[in-house]
Amino acid sequence: MTDINADVPTLTGQDIGQAERATRAVLDALLAETETSFLQWVTVNVLAGAGSPVERERLVAQLTTGLRIDEPTALPAVDEVITRGLVVGTGEPVRLELTPAGQARYRTIRQGIDQIAQRLYGDLPPEDLATAHRILAIVAERANAELGA
């Protein structure tokens, strides 16, 4: 008897997409509690990880490249975190950095994300998580190569 599913991969893009959408929904609930949009969060997160002020143009480029969005989508997110007092810009060219309020928002959301990660991944074997990380990195690399071709 032939197994009709023998050629179907164990892991598919649909599986990855379902996991991404489910975890994103959990993240979105956390962000809603802090009245922070996803794009605002990514902007704050990038600045928090930079360690020093970032030129506005470089930040927008990081958002467009990392999230695969266009500049007209990224720019309002940058403007919103400035308007909300989470980020301040100084100098010429403008260099952006987190304000104390932005640092506090970052810490609050980061702690929430750490708690979510513990609930979702905490009891999974580390070797399984390492394997999943390697596989997803390979898939992302291949997809990016296709997009670049």
Q: What is the pLDDT of residues 16-74, one digit of tens each?
A: 999 999 999 999 999 999 999 999 999 999 999 998 999 999 999 999 999 999 999 99
For 110-148, write each residue's pLDDT tens digit. Answer: 999 999 999 999 999 999 999 999 999 999 999 989 988
**DSSP one-letter string for 97-145:** EE-HHHHHHHHHHHHHHHHHHHHHHTTS-HHHHHHHHHHHHHHHHHHHH
The Cα–Cα gap between 113 and 48 comes to: 15
CA 132 distance to own-chain centroid? 18
pLDDT of residue 44: 97
**pLDDT band (50, 70, 90) for residue 149:** confident
Other Cβ atoms within 10 Å of 44 Cβ, number:
23
Structure tokens at 59: 């930040």
